[in-house]
Amino acid sequence: MVQPHSMTSPAIILHTPQLGENIGATARVMRNFGLCDLRLVDPRDGWPNPAADTMSAGAFENGVFATVHSSFESAIADRSFVVATTARPRGMQKPVSDLGDALQRLRLAPSTSAVVFGGERAGLPNEAVALCDLILTYPVDGEFPSLNLAQAVGVFAHGWAVAEGGGVPGAFSGAADPPATRDEVLRMFEHFEDELARAGFFFPGVKRPVMVQNLRNAMIRAQWTSQEVRTFRGAVKALSHGRGKARVTRDESEV
């Protein structure tokens, strides 16, 4: 079983969670953002839980490792920095932080830190908060501050991934087709401009340099791929032959 970032990210602790569905959804969002150490303190319905497996979408088979603890003290025994998440004032002399500040502190010793989330019914008990180093709050609406357990973990998990330098996922970071070379783009421009000249577009002729410059400035911003260049040149050739009469070569029109 792969356990991503197990030594470089904080543990996520759910204190007395009730619903297996929330545990599973928590595991799923943890795995989405590269977290894997899930600790359950006295889960109401025991462990393992079939409902959690269903909601996890395979997270437990793909990196998230869940352990069960009979007490909060046991869950944090190997941790040196523990953050409690709560939206309620506790009347304790304890630093309160937003997500950005909490992430900075957690990143100083991620492998020995933990972030604790309270159960669905009542959140974190004061006894647990008392054992934490820092209170983390989200900027929720004061008139409706209660977050679903898995959603609360998701807010943190996303923040952690961003703080760790997570960028745009690979599937969206670039086109599947390679970028067009500048030679391909220039030949496309010349092809297009030759056809425009044949159609009488550059009139009067003295304005052609400026008109060409304007066209190229606009088109270069598209950041063409090789496939897009071939498709565009195929379209230009089809138009130049007239609708329904084009005989386009494969390398210019392949899609």
Find tokens 């506790």 and name the residue: 90
Q: What share of the chain has pLDDT > 90, as a percent?
A: 72
Which of 124, 146, 170 is at the close of a domain? 170
Residues in the chain: 255
Query: Is residue 179 within 8 Å of 226, Cβ to Cβ?
Result: yes
148: domain range? 11-170
* 204 upstream amide cis, omega within 30 of 0: yes
C-alpha span between 35 and 14 (Å, rounded): 14
Could you tell me if residue 78 is inside a domain? yes
Could you tell me if residue 177 is inside a domain? no
Instruction: Please give the pLDDT value at position 165.
Output: 82
Residues 152 and 189 in one domain: no
Low-confidence winner among 7-11, 45-49, 87-91 (lowest mean pLDDT): 87-91
Residues 216 and 91 in one domain: no
Residue 97, number of CB atoms within 10 A of its CB: 15
- Predicted confidence (pLDDT) per residue in 18-45, tens digit: 999 999 999 999 999 999 999 999 999 9
* CATH code of 144's domain: 3.40.1280.10
Instruction: Please give the pLDDT value at position 13.
Output: 98
Residue 60, pLDDT above cutoff 90: yes
Which of 170, 204, 234 is at the close of a domain? 170
Supply angle C-alpha 122, 126, 130, rounded to 5: 145
Q: How far is CA 214 from the centre of its chain?
A: 38
Q: What's the mean pLDDT when you consider all of the chain?
A: 88
Instruction: Please give the pLDDT value at position 39.
Output: 97
CA distances from 177 to 50, 191, 224, 253, 255 (A): 43, 22, 10, 15, 11
Residues 196 and 119 in one domain: no
* Residues in Cβ contact with 103 at an 8 Å cutoff, skipping those fewer than 6 apart: 159, 160, 163
CA distances from 1 to 8, 41, 171, 217 (A): 17, 23, 24, 52
Residues 25 and 58 in one domain: yes
Residue 203, pLDDT above cutoff 60: yes
- Mapping DSSP to helix (H, G, I), strand (E, B) and coil, where does residue 39 land? strand
Could you tell me if residue 2 is inside a domain? no
Query: What average pLDDT score do residues 3-8 get?
Result: 56
pLDDT band at 248 (very low <50, low <70, confident <90, very high): very low
The pair of structure tokens assigned to 113 is 């830190």
- Predicted confidence (pLDDT) per residue in 110-126, tens digit: 999 999 999 988 889 99
Residues 154 and 209 in one domain: no
Report the number of distinct structural domains present in the chain: 2
Instruction: Please give the pLDDT value at position 178.
Output: 83
Low-confidence winner among 136-140, 164-168, 173-177, 202-206 (lowest mean pLDDT): 173-177
Which of 170, 196, 217 is at the close of a domain? 170
